[in-house]
Every structure is written in structure tokens, then in C-alpha cells.
Amino acid sequence: MERVGKKEHQYVEEVLRDGFRTSANGKMTRRLEEAFAEKFDSQYAIAFCNGTATLHAALEAVGAGLGDEVIVPPLTMSSTTFAVLHANATPVFADVEPDTFLISAKSIEACITPKTKAIIPVSLFGLAPDYDAINAIAKKHGLAVIEDDAQCFLGKYKGKIVGTLGDISSFSFQGSKHMSCGEGGMLITQSEELANKIRKYSCLGYANVGSKVGKISKKDIQDPDYCRHESLGWNYRLSDVCSAVALGQLEHLEELVEFRQKSAMLFMEAIKDAPFLTPQKNSADCENAYWAFVAKIDDDDIDWRVFRDKYMELGGDAIYAAWKLTYQEPMFRNLTLLKRETLFNSNANYADGICPVAEKLQPRLLQFKTNYFDLNEAQQQAEILSKTIQYFK
């Protein structure tokens, strides 16, 4: 399967022929935003330079800041937590479920304090968490829900497309994601108020921009008395060249997602007779987008590294470990954050033991990629996994 098709090349050529433009004026970024909003049943879509900037802007838009707490899972890419720090808020880690590996609604409830401002559930590896329970908790306590769907394009939760379940939803176009333009991202929302704020945060706080971009006449912008910036903002805009690639990807996104799902099913078949491997649990009313296929080792006598080494010895390309829990990363342990200590609430706790399920789970996870170039390649890797399993049975 061609990951990059003819449309991506065509759209990039259109941008180059048209001459470089800022994304505030660029035609291709507007086309991407309109198409993305339509694809994901959303009123508003705002393109970003990456999927960390999206989360930062979303937090700013819901008012998270100094003295506020934001609940996040520890088992995910660190960008989710870094965005909280960028907003000068305090990350609070809720534990995960032992079978789905996703943030636990029960743990979220236990983490809530009068300082809690928002929850960022992550659709990890392509699977959505329990949004009914999460949204009920958020409604009860008046909290914003920001979906981190970087790994879950076109996933489903109880018939609804993932990305339509929270107040704001964040997607990443980084190179490993279902669709990519190298680096990029998108925020979607149904709220015009939030969309207006998001646009300004992404575009240096310009007075003339809003949910649908906005324009200003040359006469006004050339006036020496014209005031450009009515609020704080960052330059988080996506270039038209990147938007061209992303638009081409978006137009065959179903094919890209379906390929990953088929690849994952080959790995699922390979482990069906392995009593010591348990895949991420899928509920009957959710559709997994399978950014990766993930299973945990349930046998204490099988060492993760020994299993990985045997797999690679037999010809496997790689097995990725789950990310180190964010609060166990050196930046939380070697006082790198000391300069930000005044930002943290006094009850912030990042010691081992705060998320026991995640701490037990993380060293046991095996993560197999699904973004191969063709299914034959994925089939070969699944067969090598079967041989590896036979070695340990």
C-alpha cells in the first residue's frame, strides 16, 4: 500500500505553483480544516504545527493555568503531560485499567480536588476509554474534557466517532500516526467560543482571527495605529505545504486506518494460542483504530528483553516497549522541574506507587507496529511472532 499517494504530490505542487503564503492566508490550510471538520462531524477545525501545541492551546482555551490541576494518564507519550506544564498547570496522574490499559474513570474520580480544571483522556494505541463514565464525572464536577486522539483516527465509541466525545479533541500528524504530513496536528470542537480562543492561541493572538480564520484589509494592516495582538498567543500555525500533504492523506484516511486494522489482526491471530500473552481488551461497542498492536506478558518467568531478543533473532523487525510512565522520567526525578516548582500545588505527588496498575503493567507491554508498507510484510512479522511464542511454550 502506498502511504503517500498521488493527491499528496498534486496538492504540494499546487502550493508551490501558487507561491508560499502564510497559513492565515493560505488556501490549502483552509481546505484541510474544512475537510477535517466534515470528516469528523465537527463544526470547527483548527490546524497546528504539531500535536503537543494542540493540547497546549486546548488547555489555554478552557482556562487551565497557574494553580489549576489537570488529570492525565501516566501511560502515554509524555507530550500529554508536557502540554499541562506549558500551560503552567499541575499534572495529576490517574491510574489505568489493567485490561484496556486506558485511563480509569474510578481513578479520575479519586484524583479530583477543588483545583481540578480539566481531564485529558488518551485513546491509547487506537482505543477509546470509557467516555460515558468520564463525561459523567466531568459534568458532575464542572470539568473540561480534552480528548487526546493522536493515536485514534476514525476509531469508534458506541457508534460515535472518536473526537466527538469531549469539549475539544486533539489529533497529531506526526510521522508514525495514521495520517501524517511529517509534523502537524488538529483541534476540533463544536463550540464557537472555544474555537475562537483556540485560533487566537495558535496565531499570536491576532485581533482579526477567529474560528474561521478571518481577514483584514491592506488599508487597516498598513495603518500605523493598527493594533494587531489583542491576546497572548503562539505561532503554532501549520504551513500550506504540510497542509497539502495532510489533505491528501485525509482523503484516503479510511484506507490507511483499515490497513492498520488488518495488520493488527495478523498479530492477534499469532498470539491466540499463547497463554502468556494478553492483548489490549476491546469492548464490543468500540472500534480500535490500531495505531499499534499491544499485548502484555502475563508470565513472570518470561523476561521482556529475552522475548524481544528472541523475536529479533528470528527475524522480527522490532518490539517497542511502552513508554516509561511520565512521572518516572528523569525530568520528574532529577529536579529538572525545579525551576517550575512554584507552579505546582503542594499536594502534587510523583513518587512511585501513585499508579500501581500502570507501574505493574508498563514493563510487561509488547508494542508491535502496524504501519507496514504491505500486508505481506506484516504477515511475515506475525509468523515470526508465532515462532517466538512456540519457543517459549
Average pLDDT over residues 141-166: 98
Active site residues: 177
* Domains defined for the chain, CATH in brackets: 6-252 (3.40.640.10), 255-392 (3.90.1150.10)
Q: Which of 73-77, 144-148, 320-324 has the lowest mean pLDDT?
A: 320-324
- Per-residue pLDDT at 355 exceeds 60: yes
**Amino acid 336: pLDDT:** 61
Check if the beta carbon of residue 183 is closer than 8 Å to that of residue 242. Answer: yes
What span, in angstroms and rounded, lies between the C-alpha atoms of 110 and 267? 36
> Which pLDDT belongs to residue 226?
80
In the structure grid, which three cell numbers stand for residue 377, read together?
510484510
d(CA 29, CA 286): 31
The answer to whether residues 80 and 53 touch, using CB atoms and an 8 Å cutoff, is no
pLDDT averaged over every residue in the chain = 93
Instruction: Spell out where 248-291 has E strands.
Output: 277-279, 286-287
Our CA dihedral for 11, 16, 17, 22, rounded to 10 degrees, sits at: 100
* Residue in the structure block whose three cell numbers are 483548527: 46
- pTM of the shown model: 0.94
Helix (H) or strand (E) holding 45: strand 44-48
Are 189 and 43 spatial neighbours (Cβ–Cβ below 8 Å)?
yes
Which pairing describes strands 144-148 and 116-119: parallel, antiparallel, or unpaired? parallel
pLDDT in tens, 299-342: 999 999 999 999 999 999 988 988 999 999 988 776 566 555 55
